[in-house]
Amino acid sequence: MSSHPSTTEEIKTVGDLPVEKIDKTEDYRIYAAISYFVILIVIGLPLWWKTTEVYRVPLPYTRIAALNESDFVLVTNVTIASLDIDRGKQLASDLDNFFKTSKLFKVHFVVTQVQKQILASAQSIQALELSSVSRRQAGDILLLEVPGLPRFTPSQVLVGRRRIVYFATDTSSVKLTEVLQQWLFQEETLQRMISSMVSPTKSELDLAGRRRMPTASAYDVMVTIVNPDPEKVQLNWDLQEAIENFLSPFLRNLAPLADYNVKSQWLYFVPLQVQPKLVPEQPGIRKHFALSEELLPHIITPLEKKLASHVSQNPCLNFVVYVPPCSESPLYIYRQEGVILRGGVNAFLSPRWGGIIIHNPPQDICDNTTVVEPKPVEADWSKIMGTFLAQLRLLVGVPELDDIPRVSMLPLAASGMRQWELDSLYRVRIMEQLTSAMLTLQSLSQLLGEISNIVIDDEVGDSIQEAVSAVERGIELLHQGNLLAAFEASKQAFLSAEAAFTDPSLLALLYFPDDQKYAVYIPLFLPVMIPVLMSLKNIYLWAASKVRHKGKEKVD
């Protein structure tokens, strides 16, 4: 303004022009000022704002926020089959009382009467397992009273391979609750998993949770045979066949939960990074080498270099067979000073990583000097693969259960999984995936609120929508007690939420700094906007004078 001092002076009448004409041109001038204002500020500014805006698809923020309120409840049907219907009803009401306090489980008890001849005709528990009674929907449980249970087992309660719990007539409801809570439902584990996900700083996972691999849609299983000295030991093993015979049937069982790709490799000249301690020959003890359990993590480090994959993004479960040469065998893992690892199983498990087994060459081959080096060593596949299967069960999330007095379970079948174990694995995965999807969505919506530069394109928007509705659908299906469908929904929710959160397009404009924007805009906007904004005052004064003029005319 100061650059035009002559125009700062207010309007004055000029002798030559008539007053009306002056007023008229004055009006035009004001109209011009108004039109500048309208074009630049009313139209231009929003247009600029709109065109330079970060693209963002409208998102269901309220639904995402509402997910927090919704409760994950696992509805489970438990059928109590008793010979005496009244006793069954009594049991059901007792059990119902116990489960009322449960936060995660909502158990519906149904009481039926069981025909005596069905039980009487069964020669063994195995026969009952195979009978028509045993077919249950996934997630459901049958509590079956078997009067003659002591005929088959010393235990009071016997948990089958399918979804049946057999109990003797004199079993108390407390014992049954204990079995359901600790073995079949594993509510404690579920609860700890959820709370550790929601507030990781406050609570920790339990042992089973720490061992279990984090959820993913596919896993790689890699079996590695390490021969540190092929000059001394020759392994002529058909690894591929062993995998096909032992691991594949078990993994086929797990196929509905996730895909498992089995790979194998041989590594040579990969030594132990640690030096095992020589235990000299003593009366009763042969000469051997000792590897302390505390040193075991150091074994994994040199192996890691050769275990990584350059193409697969799936989490990998590693199983390693280490065959020490004769000069360093037998090699045993020591739990503490002087205590060999339990059960003579020369193996250890590394949580969320895999397992290692040490396969010592047989002593007679090592001692036999007529056998020339490299000495052929045969594989004890049932021992090696048996150990791997046990470790694999823990890694995929089937926990070791605490003993309950006078309760036992039928031994594992060849498939390596009990149906109720699979059900509880489903529950763990559903809970994990739903919680994870919910947390991911919430952190994404929080992030979007905080950082304005994040782009959400149509594809990511669709993923988010998909994830939200899948979480809602999952919760709904859990209420209906449909475990398998709920698992599918939770998997969908988890994958969509992860895909949305990790989409690279989110970061497209994140590093476009604000100061660059201003450096470009200010040279234009500042000199143009100041006169336009200053003219607002003139417009206001003119409008005010008009109003007053009119008021005066009216008064006149």
Partner 1 sequence: MVCFILVPFWILNVGQCLVQKDRFDEELLLKPLPSGHVYAYFQFTTVWDAPSGPQMFQHCHLFPRALGEVAGRHNVQELHVTLTEGLWRYEYWGFPVSDAAPGAELWTWFRNDTKDVDNIWKKLTGALSGLLCASLNFIGTPNSLSPEYSFRPTGVVKNSNLNSSFVRYATLPREIVCTENLTPWKKLLPCDSKKGFASLLNAGHIHNTNYHSLGLHIRPVCKDAKCTEVSIELRQTVSLVYDMMILGFQNQDWSLRKLFGLGLSGPCPLATSSFIYVDVTSNETGTPYQLQPEPTEVITSIRGGYESKFKVYNIQKMSFTHMLNIVATYSTPKVYAVNVPPVLYASRYIVGYGQERGGIVTKIHNNHWKHLDIIYLENIPWFLPIYLHTLRVVAGGKEITPILKKYVPGKERSRPYSLEVLLRIPARSVTEIYIEFDYVFLKWQEYPPDANHGFYIGSAIISAYLPVGKNYMGLPQAGPTIYSSFNASREGFLLQLRTESLIITLPTPDFSMPYNVICLACTVVALAFGPLHNITTKRLCMKDGNSCNGLLIRLKSMLFKGRKPQAQAH
Smallest distance, partner 1 to C-beta of residue 2, A = 10
Instruction: Report helix, strand or coil for 303.
Output: helix
Residue 438 near residue 489, CB atoms below 8 Å: no
- Written as one string, the DSSP assignment of 169-207 is TT--HHHHHHIIIIIII-HHHHHHHHHHHH-TTT----H
Residue 355 near residue 349, CB atoms below 8 Å: yes
Judged by CB under 8 A, which stretch of 111-119, 190-198, 235-243, 252-260 contacts partner 1?
235-243
| Alpha-carbon dihedral 92, 93, 99, 105, rounded to 10 degrees | 60
Q: Which of 50, 154, 255, 311 touches partner 1 by CB under 8 A?
A: 311
How many CA atoms are closer than 13 Å to the CA of 478, on its beta-carbon side?
25
Q: Is 19 in the site for partner 1 (CB under 8 A)?
A: no
Please give the helix or strand (H or E) that residue 461 lies within, else none.
Answer: helix 458-480
Whichever of 228 and 386 has its CB closer to partner 1, that residue is 228
Q: Which of 103, 306, 335, 352 touches partner 1 by CB under 8 A?
A: 306
Q: Is 374 in the site for partner 1 (CB under 8 A)?
A: yes
Residue ranges of alpha helices (H) inside 202-247 are: 207-211, 239-242
Q: Which of 255, 285, 308, 414 touches partner 1 by CB under 8 A?
A: 308
Q: Please give the structure tokens belonging to residue 111.
A: 């009481």
Between CA 370 and CA 366 the distance in angstroms is 10
Check whether the bond before 405 is cis (ω within 30° of 0).
Answer: no
Whichever of 8 and 117 has its CB closer to partner 1, that residue is 8
Q: Is 362 in the site for partner 1 (CB under 8 A)?
A: no
Q: Is 342 in the site for partner 1 (CB under 8 A)?
A: no
CA-CA distances (angstroms) from residue 172 to 291, 301, 336?
Answer: 47, 51, 41
Q: Is 14 in the site for partner 1 (CB under 8 A)?
A: yes
Q: Which of 124, 217, 240, 327 touches partner 1 by CB under 8 A?
A: 240
Whichever of 61 and 518 has its CB closer to partner 1, that residue is 518
Whichever of 174 and 534 has its CB closer to partner 1, that residue is 534
Between CA 470 and CA 515 the distance in angstroms is 41
Site string for partner 1, 256-295 (x = CB under 8 A): -----xxxxxx-xxx-------------------------
Q: Is 513 in the site for partner 1 (CB under 8 A)?
A: no
Q: Is 44 in the site for partner 1 (CB under 8 A)?
A: no
Smallest distance, partner 1 to C-beta of residue 217, A = 17
Between CA 92 and CA 90 the distance in angstroms is 5
- Which 529-548 positions form the footprint of partner 1 (CB under 8 A)? 531-532, 535, 538, 541, 545, 548
Smallest distance, partner 1 to C-beta of residue 311, A = 4
Q: Which of 44, 147, 230, 362 touches partner 1 by CB under 8 A?
A: 230
How many helices (H) and strands (E) would you count in the chain? 20, 17
Between CA 332 and CA 319 the distance in angstroms is 18
Instruction: Report helix, strand or coil for 77.
Output: strand
Q: Is 519 in the site for partner 1 (CB under 8 A)?
A: yes
Q: Is 29 in the site for partner 1 (CB under 8 A)?
A: yes
Between CA 237 and CA 117 the distance in angstroms is 52
User: Smallest Cα–Cα separation from 417: which of 257, 545, 270, 288?
Assistant: 257
Smallest distance, partner 1 to C-beta of residue 226, A = 12
Q: Which of 128, 142, 243, 357 touches partner 1 by CB under 8 A?
A: 243
Whichever of 71 and 244 has its CB closer to partner 1, that residue is 244
User: Smallest Cα–Cα separation from 318: which of 355, 369, 361?
Assistant: 355
End-to-end CA distance of the chain: 38
Q: Which residues bind partner 1 (CB under 8 A)?
A: 3-4, 6-12, 14, 25-26, 29-30, 32-33, 36, 230-231, 234, 236-240, 243, 261-266, 268-270, 305-306, 308-312, 374, 519-520, 523-524, 526-528, 531-532, 535, 538, 541, 545, 548-549
